[in-house]
Chain A
Amino acid sequence: MSDEALVRIEDVGVTYGKGSAALHALAQVTLDIRAGEVTLLLGPSGSGKTTLLQVMGCLLRPTSGSVRLFGRPLADVGPEALARLRLAHVGFVFQHYNLFPTLRAWENVAIALDLKRVPVADQRGAAMVLLDRLGMSERATHFPAELSGGEKQRVAIARALAGKPELILADEPTAALDSRTGQDVVAALHDLAHREQCAVVIVSHDPRVERFADRVLHLEDGRLRDDRRAPGDQA
């Protein structure tokens, strides 16, 4: 586990709307995300978990405070440069998988490789390696509609891993899965964090995910209420 912070968030606040209609989604949040650990963001609906994830993923500018990615402040970075940062360093796993329905499983992964300018001739092989790592190589030529929820999420994780990002952000990755499949998916993310030395941040309602986390953050009403280390790797 590295001590270097991949993401440093200092006194961050996010407010939607203005005046009396203003909604404070995040307030005075300060935290670091480090390589090689799985961080679990817990909290009830509307507590600001997804907003915090968007801030970490360079998708949302905070209203106040500062965000640094690899030590670089993001305050003055334009939308296209932010997209380049996401592409270079961040992998996303979404609650509803967000796979491209017209593309086969391996093509979904290959699109992410294409974005990272992997030569066309190498994309197929690289996609297959990623799918194989998640046990999905046998299903590579299937379209998303032909895959189960767990399989779709594994393809989505393979896509997120394309180009070896240092930070993987997963928004409710188990929400649409049954309990057993959900645990398999989180276990896979946990395994990746430790094997690849990348940082994994998981947003979840599900307390059963907790046993795969190295660190648990508890958000409530947009504020960080608890930040504790997990007792040990139980996965």
Chain B
Amino acid sequence: MSVPRPRTPVAGTTLLAWRNLVHDRPRFVVTLIGVVFAVLLMGVELGLLVGFARTTSGIVDHSGVALWITPAGTTNVDIAGRLDERRRFQAMAVPGVAAVDPLMMQFGFWKKPDGGNESVALVGVDLASRRAGPWNLVEGRIEDLQQQDAVIVDRLYARKLGVRGIGDTIEINARRARVVGFTQGLRTFTQSPYVFMTHRNALRYSGYRDDETTYLLVTLEPGAEAESVRQAIARRLVTVDVWHTADFARQAQKYWLITTGAGSALLLSALLGLVVGIVIVGQTLYATTVDRLPEYATLRAIGAPAAYLNRVILKQAAISAALGFGMGTLAVYAIVALSTFANVAVIMPVWLLAILALLTLLMCAFGALISIRRLVRIDPTSVFS
């Protein structure tokens, strides 16, 4: 017997699902476009959410300390009252505390070299400890901040601030300042760019007294238990809040993303992407299913259990999800790469990618439900008509 060797390995429902999809290519393309669009929309919106969250707490996350002491009632790192520096010495007396460093945060006016003003956030750091100091420095040295009028700004905001390079001079709150370095990628949620300087310079530019500051950053002694120390400081210092760094970061994120509604808007857009995806996948899968009802009826007539038919539909959905997710993810990462140069960050960590994959799979599974409902009612005797 001369038997031609078939090339395709059979895998039952998988083969049928794949062939059903590719047999009607225009419809399959529409399905994939729908999934890609939904993945892109969900990915970018969720990536923006993560980007915004990290932006709102960037200074806190990079502080490198265990505890933050803030004026009582502080809701975020960008807006706060004043602390008397005596509190610093009170905190240092608490057992388990290794160091307490001041950090200044205050909004100011930046007058550009060619005129025009911008709002900026002055960040005064203790150069000795460098806690909450500028990170991702790409030009200049942090030591250069020791000069009396020295500031470091971020490259992302250079054009907005009207500066092009090291040595450019501007005015902050009507006092001369000079750019001595640039960071890269330090974004601000308030759109008032961070301007790093020494704590002393920040006091001078803000008009604060020498014994005032905004925050106190607590470094613990090795082996000290953070919660115990936090409670001890809170007991000793009145009219302040004492936070674990992670808690203060979460509080800052919560304030900007939930209180302002920015997070809700992004989540709503992501939800919209999910709904659009479900509708497109559901509609195209259903159309494919209706076209193939006689084939499903045949399968049922020859003895296929309902689960077998459902598997074909679910595998069609899974194939669409996998291919659409792959292409959609490429598009999302292209936008992530482009956002590196924008003052709005789209961040796609691995855990978010996993969530996006799960959402895509759920979206396609929901889209398949309407087809499965149709197959439940299929009459196997219809094959004889």
Do A and B pair up? The answer is yes
- Contact A111-B12, Cβ < 8 Å, known A104-B6, A106-B6, A140-B6: yes
Taking CB atoms, residues of chain B closer than 8 Å to A127 are 10
Chain A 55-107 residues near chain B, CB threshold 8 A:
57, 59-60, 80, 83-88, 90-92, 94-95, 98, 100-104, 106-107
Stretch binding the partner chain, chosen from A112-120, A184-192, A204-212? A112-120
Describe B's contact surface by its main secondary structure. helix
- Contact A102-B19, Cβ < 8 Å, known A138-B4, A141-B4, A171-B384: yes
Taking CB atoms, residues of chain B closer than 8 Å to A95 are 384
Out of A98, A104, A120, A132, name the residue touching B12 (CB < 8 Å).
A120
- Contact A103-B301, Cβ < 8 Å, known A140-B4, A141-B4: no
Chain B 1-33 residues near chain A, CB threshold 8 A:
1-4, 6-13, 15-16, 19-20, 23
User: Are B4 and A80 neighbours in the complex by a CB distance under 8 Å?
Assistant: no
Out of A103, A112, A124, A159, name the residue touching B19 (CB < 8 Å).
A103
Q: When chains A and B are docked, how far (Å) is the Cα of A103 from the Cα of B304?
A: 17
Interface flag for A50 (CB, 8 Å) = yes
Stretch binding the partner chain, chosen from B50-58, B197-205, B292-300? B292-300
B10 shortest CB reach to chain A, Å: 4
User: Are B6 and A111 neighbours in the complex by a CB distance under 8 Å?
Assistant: no
User: Are A94 and B15 neighbours in the complex by a CB distance under 8 Å?
Assistant: no
User: Are A104 and B8 neighbours in the complex by a CB distance under 8 Å?
Assistant: yes
Q: When chains A and B are docked, how far (Å) is the Cα of A108 from the Cα of B373?
A: 25
Taking CB atoms, residues of chain A closer than 8 Å to B19 are 100, 102-103
- Contact A111-B23, Cβ < 8 Å, known A59-B380, A137-B3: no
Interface flag for B303 (CB, 8 Å) = yes
Interface flag for A200 (CB, 8 Å) = no
Taking CB atoms, residues of chain B closer than 8 Å to A102 are 16, 19-20, 23
B296 shortest CB reach to chain A, Å: 10
Taking CB atoms, residues of chain A closer than 8 Å to B15 are 103, 107, 111
Interface flag for B305 (CB, 8 Å) = yes
User: Are A92 and B301 neighbours in the complex by a CB distance under 8 Å?
Assistant: yes
Q: Flag A22-59 by CB within 8 Å of B: 1 or 0 each.
A: 00000000000000000000000000001001100101
Interface flag for A199 (CB, 8 Å) = no
Number of A positions contacting B (CB below 8 A): 44
Taking CB atoms, residues of chain A closer than 8 Å to B342 are none
Interface flag for B308 (CB, 8 Å) = yes
- Who on chain A is nearest to B18 by CB? A102
User: Are B8 and A107 neighbours in the complex by a CB distance under 8 Å?
Assistant: yes
Interface flag for A174 (CB, 8 Å) = no
Taking CB atoms, residues of chain A closer than 8 Å to B294 are 98
Q: When chains A and B are docked, how far (Å) is the Cα of A46 from the Cα of B271?
A: 55
Taking CB atoms, residues of chain B closer than 8 Å to A100 are 16, 19, 295, 298
Interface flag for B381 (CB, 8 Å) = yes
Interface flag for A123 (CB, 8 Å) = yes
A135 shortest CB reach to chain B, Å: 10
Q: When chains A and B are docked, how far (Å) is the Cα of A101 from the Cα of B302?
A: 16
User: Are B301 and A86 neighbours in the complex by a CB distance under 8 Å?
Assistant: yes
Q: Flag A170-208 by CB within 8 Å of B: 1 or 0 each.
A: 010000000000000000000000000000000000000
Number of B positions contacting A (CB below 8 A): 33
Interface flag for A128 (CB, 8 Å) = yes
User: Are A86 and B302 neighbours in the complex by a CB distance under 8 Å?
Assistant: yes
Interface flag for A110 (CB, 8 Å) = yes
Taking CB atoms, residues of chain A closer than 8 Å to B295 are 98, 100-101
- Contact A140-B302, Cβ < 8 Å, known A94-B384, A103-B15: no
Chain B 287-336 residues near chain A, CB threshold 8 A:
294-295, 298-306, 308
Taking CB atoms, residues of chain B closer than 8 Å to A86 are 301-303
- Who on chain B is nearest to A89 by CB? B303
Taking CB atoms, residues of chain A closer than 8 Å to B308 are 115
Taking CB atoms, residues of chain A closer than 8 Å to B23 are 101-102
- Contact A137-B1, Cβ < 8 Å, known A94-B298, A102-B16, A103-B15: yes
Q: When chains A and B are docked, how far (Å) is the Cα of A110 from the Cα of B302?
A: 13
Interface flag for B383 (CB, 8 Å) = yes
Q: When chains A and B are docked, how far (Å) is the Cα of A111 from the Cα of B2?
A: 23
Taking CB atoms, residues of chain A closer than 8 Å to B2 are 137-138
Out of A83, A128, A132, name the residue touching B303 (CB < 8 Å).
A83
Known: A84-B305, A86-B302, A114-B12. 19 other contacts (CB 8 A): A53-B384, A59-B301, A80-B305, A83-B303, A88-B303, A92-B301, A94-B298, A98-B295, A98-B383, A100-B19, A104-B8, A111-B10, A111-B299, A115-B299, A120-B11, A128-B6, A137-B3, A141-B4, A141-B7
Nearest 9 CB-CB pairs, A to B?
A87-B303, A114-B12, A102-B19, A86-B303, A98-B298, A110-B10, A102-B23, A137-B3, A123-B10
- Sample 28 A-B pairs with CB under 8 A, ordered by A number: A54-B381, A57-B301, A60-B381, A83-B306, A84-B305, A85-B303, A86-B302, A90-B302, A92-B301, A94-B384, A98-B383, A100-B19, A101-B23, A103-B16, A103-B19, A111-B12, A111-B15, A111-B16, A115-B12, A115-B302, A115-B303, A115-B304, A120-B10, A120-B12, A128-B3, A138-B4, A140-B3, A141-B4
